[in-house]
Amino acid sequence: MASGFFITFEGGEGAGKSTQIERLARRMRAKRYDVLVTREPGGSPGAEAVRHVLLSGAAEPFGPKMEAILFAAARSDHVEQVIRPAVEHGSVVLCDRFVDSSRVYQGVTGGLDPAFMEALEAVAINGMVPDMTLIFDIDPAEGLKRAALRRGADDGPDRFEKETLAVHQRRREAFLAIAKAEPERCVVIDAAADPDAVENVVTEAVFAALENRLPVQRKQTAPA
C-alpha cells in the first residue's frame, strides 16, 4: 500500500503555524505532492462538533480531565475519519496541533497524571504517530501579542489563550522538553524570525525528511 507522510505543527499561541502550513502546502503542491491540510481540535465533522465545546470554555467548569477526554474523543474521530485514510492513500497530511498539544496543555499545565495522559493518547491515536513534528518556538509575550492582533479588537482570547503569561511560559518549556526527548520526530523552529525566513527553514526541513524517510511501521491495535 502507498504510504504518505504525517506532519504535525505544534507550539504556543501566535507562533504562526497556520500561515506556515499554508505556505508549505503551496510549495509541496507545486512539487506535485498530494497534500491535505487539517487542524485540531477539529478536522472531521465529529471533531468539529466538539471543537466549539472546548474553545468556548463550555467544558472548563468540569475540569481538565473532562477537557482532555473531549480532546481525545475529537482526535480519535479525526484520526480514523481523515488522517489515517489520507496517509494510507499516499497523501502528505499537515496537521495544525496534535497529541503534543494535549501533552502540554492538558498534561503539563492541566496537571493531569502522566499515566492517564499516556493511556488516553494511545486510545486516541491508535498507532497514528506523526512521522515528523515541527515545534514552533516563540517567546509567549510576543506570541500572545500576535494572537491578539490576528483576532482583532472585537474578539476576546479563547479558553486556552486567556491564561497567565507564566502558564504560557510553562507550555513553551514543555514543548521544548518534548523536542529534546524525541529528537528523531521533532524539529524546533525559531518562530520569531520573519515569515519568509521561517518558510525557508520549514521547507528545507520537510523536504529533507521526505527524502530520507524510511517505510513507516504503524501499530494499530484494532481495525479502523
The site for ligand TYD (CB under 6 A) is made up of 13, 18, 39-41, 55, 71, 96-97, 101-102, 105-106, 158, 160-161
- Min dist CB 99 to ligand TYD, Å, is 7
Nearer to ligand TYD, 33 or 117 (CB): 117
* DSSP-based three-state secondary structure for 39: strand
Nearer to ligand TYD, 33 or 191 (CB): 191
CB 38 within 8 A of CB 82: yes
**Phi-psi domain of 6 (left: phi exceeds 0; alpha: psi -120 through 50; beta: other):** beta
Q: Is 97 exposed, middle or buried (0-12, 13-18, 19+ CB in 10 A)?
A: buried
Q: How far is CA 125 from the centre of its chain?
A: 13
- Min dist CB 178 to ligand TYD, Å, is 13
Best CA proximity match to 132, nearest among 173, 187, 174, 180: 187
- Tell me the H-state helices in the chain: 17-30, 45-55, 64-78, 84-88, 99-101, 114-125, 140-151, 165-181, 195-211
Nearer to ligand TYD, 88 or 158 (CB): 158
Nearer to ligand TYD, 13 or 80 (CB): 13
- Min dist CB 47 to ligand TYD, Å, is 10
- Min dist CB 104 to ligand TYD, Å, is 8
Nearer to ligand TYD, 3 or 18 (CB): 18
- Min dist CB 50 to ligand TYD, Å, is 11
- Min dist CB 31 to ligand TYD, Å, is 26
Distance between CA atoms of residues 195 and 208, nearest Å: 20
Helix (H), strand (E) at residue 95: strand 92-96
Nearer to ligand TYD, 141 or 208 (CB): 141
Nearer to ligand TYD, 142 or 161 (CB): 161
DSSP string, 157-216: --TTTTS-HHHHHHHHHHHHHHHHH-TTTEEEEETTS-HHHHHHHHHHHHHHHHHT----
- Min dist CB 189 to ligand TYD, Å, is 15
